[in-house]
Amino acid sequence: MNSAAPLVFDITESTHRQNDDLRQKILANPGFGVNFTDHMVAIDWTAQQGWHDARVQPYGPLQIDPASSVLHYAQEIFEGLKAYRHADGSIWIFRPLENGLRMQRSAERLALPPLPEDLFLESIKALIRVDDMWVPSAPETSLYLRPFMIANERFLGVRAAQRAAYYVIASPAGAYFPQGVAPVNIWVSQEHSRAARGGTGAAKCGGNYSASLLPQQEASRHDCSQVLFLDSQEGKYLEELGGMNLFLVKRDGTLLTPSLTGSILEGVTRDSIITLAKDRGHEVVERKISLDEMLEGLRSGDISEAFACGTAAVITPIRMIKGESFTVGEPNAPAGELTMSLRQELTDIQYGRRADPHHWMMKVL
Ligand code: COI
């Protein structure tokens, strides 16, 4: 499965690095997912050779056979993690091992080869070392790293591919939502599901996200930034948003979040919030939460805050929740107090502004 000796990355530096002025301009206001660094990582895999040919190469288009399984049967997985520049100029990544292990679980579900976690970590570090000047230092900015794996065997039969490739690209990032950290509205989709029981909901695979795009368009039509999906069996219980997990805060300070039923992504940010809230003495309950319970709680005031979380979204307050037959929340409601204070604590750790009691940060440079 894996090559015995550790792989050494062969580095080919780009002869077309972005010029300093343009890069600085991008880093001052990076947006999300629109600009990419000068290099990328690539590692190949075949059933015969295992993982081989690890390299850092100039960023650029892939050449892919049109019969590759990823293009037909969506045999693909990805991850998302961030590198942060601290005040002293050093560069750190947040809980990267969690992403590496989750990618192995996703690989198993999508019948792709698991990438050893040390190779995952080394791939992230190798790219940051070459593109370190792309890690921004403006407030609330970071370098978003996007590892992904595709099946690229030239074969149209439906079976696990015998050939795959792993890549890492990186993109300087500001806030995920164009309006910044301001509260967002979310749309409850009661027609479409994101994931079925026994399906791929817990895996980070592209198919889960493409399934969310049509309801996402519906959400946009209702002035909502994200879709909240319900369970596919009963259409009753909250699952997750298109690309984020969900938390509710009760008036008594208890945090509620949908339990990991197998169709919800095991968010690294979700897990970190649970830990930070428990550290503060909050009760955190992971269980099934029905749509009715949430709506009643928001109407009665028993639920006082709601927020979305994920690597890209960090912690984003939710203002209004809308569906075909209901709207709860006020158009000008401010962000929740606990929401913002947990956000502050998490980002303080990530940017090195406060102690890191759980040793989540890993120094790269
Ligand atoms: C992330 O938070 O890293 C994701 O993959 C979600 C996506 C909406 C950007």
- For the segment 204-223, the average pLDDT, to the nearest whole number, is 96
Q: Has residue 360 been placed in a domain?
A: no
Q: Has residue 127 been placed in a domain?
A: yes
* Residue 152, amino acid: N
Shared domain check, 278 and 138? no
Q: If pLDDT is split at 50, 70 and 90, which confidence band does 202 have? A: very high
Distance 133 CA to ligand 1 centre (A): 23
Testing ligand 1's pocket by substitution, the residue of 34, 76, 265, 311 carrying the most ligand atoms inside 8 A of its CB is 311
Shared domain check, 198 and 147? no
* Distances 271 to 173, 242, 304, 309, 310 between C-alpha atoms, Å: 22, 18, 21, 10, 10
Q: Has residue 303 been placed in a domain?
A: yes
- For the segment 338-345, the average pLDDT, to the nearest whole number, is 97
Shared domain check, 164 and 58? yes
Q: Is the pLDDT of residue 267 over 80?
A: yes
Q: Has residue 2 been placed in a domain?
A: no
Beta strands in the chain (DSSP E): 10-11, 39-46, 50-58, 76-78, 81-85, 91-94, 142-151, 163-173, 184-189, 226-230, 238-241, 245-250, 255-258, 284-287, 303-310, 314-323, 326-328, 361-363
Supply the CATH number for residue 220's domain.
3.20.10.10
Q: Give the residue, by CA position, lying nearest to ligand 1 atom 7.
A: 243
Q: If pLDDT is split at 50, 70 and 90, which confidence band does 175 have? A: confident
> Going by DSSP bridges, is the β-strand pair 255-258/284-287 parallel, antiparallel, or unpaired?
parallel
Shared domain check, 163 and 67? yes
- For the segment 129-155, the average pLDDT, to the nearest whole number, is 97
Main-chain phi, psi angles of 182, to 5 degrees: -65, 150
Shared domain check, 119 and 229? no
Burial of 115 per CB tally in 10 Å (0-12, 13-18, 19+): buried
Question: Within 6 Å (CB) of ligand 1, which residues are found?
Answer: 80, 243, 310-312
* Residue 186 contacts residue 171 (beta carbons within 8 Å): no
Contacts of 139 (CB under 8 A, 6+ apart): none
Testing ligand 1's pocket by substitution, the residue of 34, 106, 176 carrying the most ligand atoms inside 8 A of its CB is 176
pTM: 0.96
Q: Give the residue, by CA position, lying nearest to ligand 1 atom 9.
A: 312
pLDDT of residue 4: 59
Q: Give the residue, by CA position, lying nearest to ligand 1 atom 8.
A: 243
Distance 91 CA to ligand 1 centre (A): 21
- For the segment 225-232, the average pLDDT, to the nearest whole number, is 96
Testing ligand 1's pocket by substitution, the residue of 244, 269, 271, 316 carrying the most ligand atoms inside 8 A of its CB is 244
Tens-place pLDDT, residues 310-329: 999 999 999 999 999 999 99
Shared domain check, 167 and 201? no
Distance 351 CA to ligand 1 centre (A): 19
Q: Among 52, 42, 50, which Cα is nearest to 12's? A: 42
Q: Is the pLDDT of residue 1 over 70?
A: no
**For residue 81, which atom of ligand 1 is closest to its CA?**
3
**For residue 312, which atom of ligand 1 is closest to its CA?**
2
pLDDT of residue 6: 86
CA atoms of 175 and 329, how far apart (whole Å): 23
- For the segment 18-39, the average pLDDT, to the nearest whole number, is 97
- Computed over every residue of the chain, the mean pLDDT equals 96
pLDDT of residue 2: 47
Q: Is the pLDDT of residue 264 over 60?
A: yes
At 349 the three-state DSSP class reads helix
Tell me how many domains the chain contains.
Answer: 2
Q: If pLDDT is split at 50, 70 and 90, which confidence band does 240 have? A: very high
* Distances 221 to 189, 216, 225 between C-alpha atoms, Å: 12, 9, 10
Q: Has residue 271 been placed in a domain?
A: yes
Higher-confidence residue of 333 and 248: namely 248
The string of DSSP codes covering 224-268 is -SEEEEE-TTTS-BEEEESSSEEEEEETTS-EEEE---SSS---H
Residue with tokens 């062969």: 10
- Parent domain of 339: 184-350
**For residue 79, which atom of ligand 1 is closest to its CA?**
5
Distance 244 CA to ligand 1 centre (A): 7
Q: Has residue 295 been placed in a domain?
A: yes
**For residue 243, which atom of ligand 1 is closest to its CA?**
8
Distance 49 CA to ligand 1 centre (A): 32
Domain boundary among 123, 154, 173: 173
Distance 5 CA to ligand 1 centre (A): 33
* Residue 334 contacts residue 256 (beta carbons within 8 Å): no
Shared domain check, 338 and 236? yes
Burial of 206 per CB tally in 10 Å (0-12, 13-18, 19+): middle
Tens-place pLDDT, residues 181-195: 889 999 999 999 999
Q: Has residue 4 been placed in a domain?
A: no
- For the segment 333-348, the average pLDDT, to the nearest whole number, is 96
- For the segment 103-119, the average pLDDT, to the nearest whole number, is 98
**For residue 32, which atom of ligand 1 is closest to its CA?**
9
Distance 361 CA to ligand 1 centre (A): 19
The upper half-sphere exposure of residue 198, i.e. CA atoms within 13 Å in the direction of its Cβ, equals: 1
Q: Among 285, 272, 289, 288, which Cα is nearest to 350's? A: 272
Q: Is the pLDDT of residue 154 over 80?
A: yes
Shared domain check, 200 and 149? no
